[in-house]
Amino acid sequence: MSSNCYVVYDDETKRCLVIDPASEKSIKEKEFIEENHLFLDYIILTHEHTDHTWGVNSLKEKYPNSKLVCSEACNTYAKKASRVYFLLYYDDPDYRYVIVPADIIVKKTNEVINWNGNPVRFILTPGHSYGSMCIEIGGDLFSGDTMMPFKPYFNGRDSNRDDWEESINVIKSMYKETQQICPGHGEMLTLGEWLNTDY
């Protein structure tokens, strides 16, 4: 899938987490984890769309002690698998993919889990999808498809612009324009750069 997956890791403790594994077999993620002798603690999803979740089951199978983290809405709607993406990858009208249930469900903004001595903070940002959320780790904000260097996308099924604009106002109230954004697609940028571009 042509979306961004992030591996966040600590060189000293060798602990890591994966954000939005999008490719079916998670080959690159597994290779990176193994080559760097890392231990996978968490798989975290910014939202439920297939191009951000397709690799979850493969990672859970390889690393059964890892915990899947997502929003409550993401956990609910990810069970309703869509065939749209797979029409691009399979000539099989019966193909289905449904991710395993989450181990940790985020229910409200500012929930935090302690990972490797570092807070991982969650901000619910519905709009692009029902279950969208941003993830703050070590000074970076992983935004999924809530903020990207492209026009916001609303598919008309599980998203709407009003919710998205409200979510953006929440982000603006919480972070300075110097905040680094790690989007679900495209290159990293600051919040100020994103706000000052006509998307």
pLDDT bin (cut points 50, 70, 90) of residue 137 is very high
Give the least confident one: 53-67, 81-95, 117-131.
Answer: 81-95
Q: Is 90 exceeded by the pLDDT of residue 81?
A: no
Give the least confident one: 45-54, 123-132, 133-142.
Answer: 45-54
Distance CA 126, CA 74 (A): 10
61, HSE (Cβ side, Cα atoms, 13 Å):
10
pLDDT tens string 107-125: 999 999 999 999 999 999 9
- DSSP letter string over 90-124? -S-TT----PPPPSEEE-STTEEEEETTEEEEEEE
pTM of the predicted structure, to 2 decimals: 0.93
Structure tokens at 124: 């619910």
Q: Quick check: 135 and 44 in contact, CB under 8 A?
A: yes
Least Cα distance to 192 among 183, 120, 181 occurs for: 181
Question: According to the model, what pLDDT value does residue 88 have?
Answer: 60
Of all residues in the chain, the percent with pLDDT exceeding 70 is: 91
Least Cα distance to 49 among 84, 17, 10, 14 occurs for: 84
pLDDT bin (cut points 50, 70, 90) of residue 87 is low
Distance CA 52, CA 101 (A): 15
Residue 61 CA from chain centroid, whole number: 19
pLDDT bin (cut points 50, 70, 90) of residue 91 is low
Task: Delineate the domains of the chain, giving CATH numbers in brackets.
Answer: 6-195 (3.60.15.10)
Distance CA 127, CA 183 (A): 15
Q: In Å, what is the CA distance from 72 to each residue of 14, 86, 99?
A: 29, 25, 14
